[in-house]
Amino acid sequence: MADDPILSVRDLHVSFRTKRGLARVVRGLDYDLHAGETLAIVGESGSGKSVSTLAMTKLIPMPPGQVSGEVWLGDDDLVPLSEKHLLHYRGRRIGYVFQDPMTSLNPVHPIGRQLTEGMRYHLELSDEEIRERAIDLLQKVGIPSPEKRLDDYPHQFSGGMRQRVVIAIGLSCDPEVLVADEATTALDVTTQAQIVELIGRLQDELGMGVIWITHDLGVVAGIADRVLVMYAGQVVEAADVDALYARPRHPYTVGLMRSLPVLGDLERRDLASIPGLPPSPTALPEGCAFHPRCAFRDDDRCATEAPPLRDIGDGHLIRSFYEVPEEIAQEAAAEARIEIEPPDADDVGDAAAEVGSRSGRGGET
Amino acid sequence: MSDDRPDQPPSDEPAEEPRQPSAEQPELERPEGEHRPQWRQTLAILLSNRAAAVGLVVLIVMVLTAVFADQLIRFPINEDNIANRFAPPSADHWFGTDDLGRDVYSRVVMGARVSLQVAAISVTISLVAGTLLGLIAGYRGGWLDTVTMRAVDVAFAFPAVLLAIALVAVFGPSLRNTMIAIGIVFTPIFARVVRGSVLSVREDLYIRAIRSLGASDGRIILRHVLPNVAAPVIVQTSLSLAFAILLEAALSFVGAGVQRPTPAWGLMLADAQRFIAQGWWLSVFPGMAIFVTVMAFNLMGDGLRDALDPRQRTLIEARGAGGGEDE
Amino acid sequence: MSDALVTVDDLSVYFPVGRRRDGTAVKAVDGVSFEIAKGETLGLVGESGCGKSTTGLALLRLVEPTRGSVTFDGIDVRELSARDLRRWRRRAAMIFQDPYASLDPRQPVGEAVGEALDIHDLHQGKQARRTRIGELLERVGLHPDVAERYPHEFSGGQRQRVGIARALACEPDFIVADEPIAALDVSIQAQVMNLMAELQRDLDLTYLFIAHDLAAVQHVSDRIAVMYLGRIVELADRIDIYRSPQHPYTQALLSAIPVPEPTRERSRRRILLEGDLPSPMDPPSGCNFRTRCAEVFEACGRVDPALAPVTDGHEAACLLHHDQGQAVERSHHPDAREHQKA
């Protein structure tokens, strides 16, 4: 891992003015991302995980939205930059892959045109070079016979293939940071496996930093180096992936893990659900934002005083006055552990382990 | 409005005895935020749109004028006074007098009753007939739908005014026949609006959910399809009322509508045309009446379109500061 | 199983394509057979477009089946007249995926629940009706005084509970739950799954639980059927299907599901499926899955494997486990041989 982070976010705040008052969607976010590193941001809807990355390049409606803090990409702070200047960063240095491959492509343009649009704007290349690069990118993301498919329209691709195109667009200008915002949520699980594998392989090849935003703790386990758990616009727990899964210490993270049904759970334990609902960003509770739902709360303190994010050792951060006791943390981790080995490619013929992309018939409509 | 069925009076608490206590007795949840009836939200959004609020006020004034016309008029509307022809507006005759010396103000006031009555009755005819046709065609589909919609297409192929004139020519000109003719002319518009909405509502998941409970088609249509197609129908009603007033005026203008000496705005305009040199007030005041009323209906129709559209609703709420605060 | 509450035999649903009657049809469900015992939960899993939801709808005749039969407690559901069908629906309810779309936006939630009572003339009288509505809302963890509120005022999880209360209103024996948790956040999913389990215990319900999330399905189900392209490819006990998946598709599906364990996840070699799902208008000849199967062999293009027992209570539709298959490809699954013909 490189010494200097390629992306540093400091005290990022994002809020929106609404009729019901100020919605504070991201409240003081800090993190570093290094080259080649995968940072996972986990949270439920409304936790601010998506908005925080969109706000880095102000891809949110700005009259109601407000951004403050610092976003250092190399030596540049993006927050004070004007719309015009940000154009040089969006797509060029920070690439995005969004959730829904159905709507993140424009249905009336062929994919080749959408793929080359950013390159034509950002890169000083001839038309011929751009075309070559486009073909190369499609090849990389596993689209068979790419030179023939450049002129096809999005509807001529299947969901998984479309998401590959979206990834190719995200990578088209060789960004230092790729933000994958719920990039596999809309896909079937077998397709998700392909896409996760693909992004991992591309990251190894190209060495970019990846911010992977998801609500799926399973996906995170396989790909992340470091994990941020967000709740109500703040990081409530941050740790290296192994530490987090072995010993989650924040009550919310523990709650999430215990509410997860786990494959191959033999005796069918009861799922421990987190009572209640996440707070509305316009009406955040006093004190700790999680305290109304917390099983470990102490009403005197948690309801009045907001806990700071503190280090409990080895860069494991939690935002809570109380650490979940070791035994409970380990129990939660054990509950999330599968009891039977899932089938593996080794169990079947080797041919199956090959990525489907190279087969001739992939990608038909 | 989206009619909240009021068969459950709010706030009187049923005498609820606690259920058998379950093991851990989790807390019972309520949604966040205070409860506001839907019609109040709709009204709030409607009134936050300034143009629509103006339209609504004008219409209320117009309706009151029509209702209390007998009290508001200053002279008997059909009393000739040849001695006082073409008197310009004055303290006595606010809007002047016409070629027969009749008080224009009184006739415009009484004309409101005639025009609004024609508009209301004819639009009601088309609303009922068109909604029925559209509901059946849209919900049932098949040949019934094909036949109805082809008939609607044919009706649309005629210019509205010509069709209305032709119908009046067949029925014979009279106040009643004018209303029937306008009603017939507008029926296809409602049929088409309703059918389109029914087609989309019919596919909504909640219709399927209610069918899964064992509901009959009749119940589904009356209690679920109809309330959910109400919004576009209400908007269309408002716009049609405007158009009905224009159409009535046009019919009366060419002599195929309301007959003399009934004081209809269109008829007054037609008569004024001959005396344009003698008095500007003869045409300006009835013309203004038509303009203001039609405008008000249109403004309110546009406002209703926004207020009744749930997507618009969230948009407006999200937009926050924009749009006047109403409460 | 003689205590079956629901027996589905050769159920098929074809949707004609276009207006011409040239026989082109989307074979959404194509010859599906299974039984659900009283008090049991059968899980139905598969990826989008596999026909699992259509199967649930056809079972309740919310979509008319093209072929096959559904028997419910001795009643031939396909033979019911329109009127009898409406009456029967009291006994078999449905919970839908999207809690935002499955409630009428213009109906207060209490009325949504009460409507089920009205339809079947239950709990007549204003007071009795209101009490019952309050009971049902409480049953699903909502305060009875929310009855006059509108669906848009509720969160997704709360709406889903209203949907469940509505399904419970007529005290059904059987509930088809179509992706009831897919639209909900993780912490809310557990609430709804726990509620459904509790209701099943208390009210002796039988469920068909349809979902794409195999972990959730496994959590709530007693047995699991895996669907692919309109067919059931494997049907087994919830543990068996995981311990020894027999069909190559089930194996790929299980191998693709990420598990929340970093070390295991990083070292796993997934079985990645080749290509895309074939069009259900023109499924491959022979075995549906052969175009993406790693273990495909010559006979797969000719023979369409039926769902056949592999071991007791474990069925798979794969030639590897049929006589024809073994002759050609014996080496692959040596244990398959012991299990032929139960």
C105 at B interface, C-beta within 8 A: yes
Domain check: are A133 and A227 in the same one? yes
* Three-state SS at C226: strand
- Provide the percentage of residues in chain C whose pLDDT is more than 90: 48
> Are A222 and A247 members of one domain?
no
Instruction: Judge whether A350 lies within some domain.
Output: no
* Confidence band for C19, pLDDT divided at 50, 70 and 90: low
Query: Which string of DSSP letters, residue by residue, matches C159-185?
Result: HHHHHHHHHHTT--SEEEEESTTTTS-
| ω into B261 cis (within 30 of 0) | yes
Instruction: State residue B23's pLDDT score.
Output: 38
| Of residues B295 and A342, more confidently modeled | B295
Residue A282 sits in the same domain as residue A316 = yes
Block residue for tokens 């049953």:
C139
CB contact under 8 A, A344 and C270: yes
A residues 257-286 near B, CB within 8 Å? Answer: 275-277, 280, 283
Based on the structure, what is the number of domains in chain C? 2
Of A19, A275, A280, the CB nearest to B26: A275
Cβ pair B228:C106 closer than 8 A = yes
Residue ending a domain, choose from C124, C153, C168: C168
pLDDT band, residue B311 (cuts 50/70/90): low
C244 within a domain of the structure (yes/no): no
Nearest Cα neighbor of B232 from B149, B305, B315 is B305
Which chains would you list as touching C if contact means 3+ CB atom pairs under 8 Å? A, B
> Which of B251-265, C116-130, C304-318 is predicted with the least confidence, judged by mean pLDDT?
B251-265
- Give me the DSSP letters along B33-60: S----HHHHHHHHHHHSHHHHHHHHHHH
At residue C155, the pLDDT reads 85
Mean of all residue pLDDT scores within chain C:
86
- Chain B residues closer than 8 Å to C87 by CB: 214
CB within 8 Å: A190 and C272: yes
**Could C141 and B26 be called an inter-chain contact, meaning their C-beta atoms sit closer than 8 Å?**
yes
Contacts with A20 from chain B: Cβ below 8 Å: 317, 320
- Which of A206, A231, A256 is the last residue in one of the domains? A231
Cα→Cα distances B35→A278, B11, B91, C153, Å: 20, 11, 53, 8
| Domain enclosing residue A266, as ranges | 234-335
For each of the domains in chain B, give its residue range(s) and CATH number, in order of start.
38-319 (1.10.3720.10)
Cβ <8 Å between C212 and A188 = yes
- Closest residue to C89, CB basis, from B4, B27, B214: B214
Is residue A36 in some structural domain?
A: yes
Tokens at C325, concatenated: 């298959």
Shared domain for A205 and A277, answered yes or no, is no
Residue A71 sits at φ, ψ, to 5 deg, of -130, 100
Q: What is the pLDDT, as a whole number, of residue B263?
A: 85
Q: Does residue B142 carry a pLDDT above 60?
A: yes
* pLDDT over 60 at B190, yes or no: yes
A259: chain C residues, CB-CB within 8 Å: 186-187, 189-190
For residues C121 and B14, the model is more confident at C121
Whether A359 shows a pLDDT value over 70: the answer reads no
| Residue C316 is assigned to a structural domain of this protein | yes
Smallest CA–CA distance, residue B3 to chain C, in Å, is 8
Q: Choose from A18, A19, A273, A282 for mutation: most chain B CBs within 10 A.
A: A19
Q: Are residues A215 and A254 in the same domain?
A: no
Q: Residues A197, A202, A207, CA angle at the centre, nearest 5°?
A: 130
Assess if residue A360 is contained within a domain: no
Residues 167-226 of C with CB under 8 A from B: 169-170, 198
CB-CB under 8 Å, C155 with A277: yes
* Domain membership flag for residue C63: no
pLDDT recorded at residue C20:
57
The structural domain count of chain A equals 2
Closest of C24, C16, C29, C6 to residue C231, by C-alpha: C29
Task: List, as one string, the DSSP characters of A132-168.
Answer: HHHHHHHHHTT-SSHHHHTT--GGGS-HHHHHHHHHH
Q: Which pLDDT score, from 0 to 100, does residue C43 have? A: 95
Considering the domain architecture, whether residues A220 and A245 belong to the same structural domain is answered as: no
Chain C residue numbers with beta carbons less than 8 Å from the beta carbon of A266 are 239
Asked if B32 and A277 come within 8 Å (Cβ–Cβ), the reply is yes
Q: Do B317 and A18 touch (CB under 8 A)?
A: yes
Is the same domain home to A248 and A198?
no
Chain A nearest-CA distance from B314, in A, is 10
Q: Min CA distance, B236 vs chain C (Å)?
A: 19
| Contact criterion met (CB < 8 Å) for A275 and B27 | yes
The last residue of a domain, from among A196, A213, A231: A231
Contact assignment for B318 to A19 by CB distance below 8 Å: yes
Tokens 């293009």 correspond to C301
Which of A329-343, B232-246, B259-273 is least confident? Answer: A329-343
B8 to C110: CB separation less than 8 angstroms, yes or no: yes
Mutate to test the interface with A, among C53, C154, C250, C274 (most CBs of A within 10 A): C274
Q: Is A163 domain-assigned?
A: yes
> Are A19 and B320 inside 8 Å of each other by CB?
yes
Phi and psi at residue C225, to the nearest 5°: -110, 130
CA C172 to chain centre: 17
Task: Categorize the per-residue pLDDT at C323 as very low, low, confident or very high, splitting at 50, 70 and 90.
Answer: low
pLDDT digits (tens, 9 = 90+) for B12-67: 333 333 333 333 445 677 776 666 667 777 788 888 888 889 999 999 999 999 89
- Separation in Å, CA of B17 to nearest CA in chain C: 9
Compute the distance between CA of residue A160 and CA of residue A101 in angstroms, rounded to an integer: 8
How far B38 CA sits from the closest chain C CA (Å)? 8
Give a yes or no: residue A127 inside a domain.
yes
Token pair of B140, please? 């049932």
What CATH number does residue A137 fall under?
Answer: 3.40.50.300
Band of the pLDDT at C2, cuts 50, 70, 90?
low
Q: What pLDDT is attached to residue C25?
A: 83
Nearest CA in chain C to B16: C131
For C168-203, what is each residue's pLDDT tens digit?
999 999 999 999 998 888 888 888 899 999 999 999
**Beta partners for A23?**
A16
Q: Do A193 and C269 touch (CB under 8 A)?
A: no
> Cβ of C251 and A348 within 8 Å?
yes
Q: Which of A298-302, B153-157, C31-35 shows the lowest per-residue confidence on average (mean pLDDT)?
A: A298-302
Assess if residue A359 is contained within a domain: no
Position of tokens 């009127």? C83
Q: What is the pLDDT of residue C35?
A: 95
Q: Tell me the pLDDT of chain A averaged across its residues.
A: 84
Residue C327: predicted pLDDT: 38
A61 → chain B, closest CA residue: B319
A214 neighbors A228 (Cβ within 8 angstroms): no
Chain C CB contacts of A346 below 8 Å: 269
Q: Chain C residues with CB inside 8 Å of A339's CB?
A: none
What value of ipTM does the predicted structure carry?
0.81
CB of C78 within 8 Å of a chain B CB? The answer is no
Q: What is the mean pLDDT of residues B137-160?
A: 89
Q: Which of A259, A274, A350 to mutate to test the interface with C (most CBs of C within 10 A)?
A: A259
| B-chain residue closest to C108, CA distance | B4
Are residue A281 and residue A224 in the same domain, yes or no?
A: no
Residue A2 located in a structural domain: no
Q: pLDDT value at position A190?
A: 83
Look at B9-23, B241-255, B299-313, C213-227 and tell me which has the smallest mean pLDDT. Answer: B9-23
pLDDT at residue C22, rounded to an integer: 64
What is the per-residue pLDDT for A209? 93
Q: Is the pLDDT at B255 greater than 60, yes or no? A: yes
pLDDT of residue C21: 60
Neighbours of chain A (3+ CB pairs under 8 A): B, C
**C 80-99 near B (Cβ less than 8 A):** 85-90, 93-94, 96, 98
Residues in chain C within 8 Å Cβ distance of A45 = 185
Residues of A in contact with C260 (CB under 8 A): 217-218, 220-221, 245, 257, 260, 262, 336
Neighbours of chain B (3+ CB pairs under 8 A): A, C
Does A220 share its domain with A81? yes
Task: Specify whether A213 is located in the same domain as A266.
Answer: no
For the segment A23-82, what is each residue's pLDDT rounded down to a tens digit? 899 999 999 999 999 999 999 888 899 899 999 988 888 778 889 999 999 888 999 988
Considering the domain boundaries, does residue C37 fall inside one? no
Domain boundary among C135, C168, C201: C168
How far does the CA of residue A188 sit from the closest CA of chain C (Å)?
6
Query: C112, C142, C168 — which closes off a domain?
Result: C168
Q: Note the pLDDT of residue C340.
A: 38
Q: CB B2 to CB C170 under 8 A?
A: no
What residues have CB less than 8 Å from A212, skipping those under 6 apart? A38, A39, A40, A41, A180, A183, A199, A219, A220, A223, A224
Q: Specify whether A218 is located in the same domain as A108.
A: yes
Q: Is residue A347 part of a domain?
A: no
Give the tens place of pLDDT for each residue, C227-268.
999 999 999 999 899 888 999 999 999 888 888 888 888 888
Residue C140 lies in a domain: yes
Same structural domain for residues A23 and A126? yes
Confidence of residue A7 (pLDDT cuts 50, 70, 90): very high
| Low-confidence winner among A182-196, B4-18, C205-219 (lowest mean pLDDT) | B4-18
What are the phi and psi torsion angles at A328 (to 5°)? -65, -40
Q: What are phi and psi of A94, to 5 degrees?
A: -125, 115
Core vs surface per residue B115-135: b (16+ CB within 10 A) or e: bbebbbbbbebbbebbbebbb
Q: Which of A97-106, A306-315, B264-273 has the lowest mean pLDDT?
A: A97-106
Task: Judge whether residue A222 has pLDDT over 80.
Answer: yes
pLDDT (tens digit per residue) in A144-153: 888 888 899 9
pLDDT score for B292: 92
Query: Is the Cβ of C134 closer than 8 Å to some Cβ of chain B?
Result: yes
pLDDT at site C328: 40
Residue B98 has pLDDT above 60, yes or no: yes
In a domain, C332, yes or no: yes
- For residue B59, the distance in angstroms to the closest alpha carbon of chain A comes to 30
Residue B316 has a pLDDT of: 44
* Residue C127 counted as domain residue: yes
Q: What is the pLDDT of residue A101?
A: 66
Chain C contact present for A356, CB below 8 A: yes
Per-residue confidence at B270, pLDDT binned at 50, 70, 90? confident
Range of the domain at C326: 257-339
Residue C83 lies in a domain: no
- According to the per-residue pLDDT averaged within each range, which of A118-122, B18-22, C96-100, C111-115 is highest? C111-115
Answer yes or no: do A361 and C291 touch at CB < 8 A.
Answer: yes
Residues 6+ apart with CB under 8 A from A129: none
- What digits encode the pLDDT tens for the residues C31-80? 999 999 999 999 999 988 889 999 999 999 999 999 999 999 999 999 99
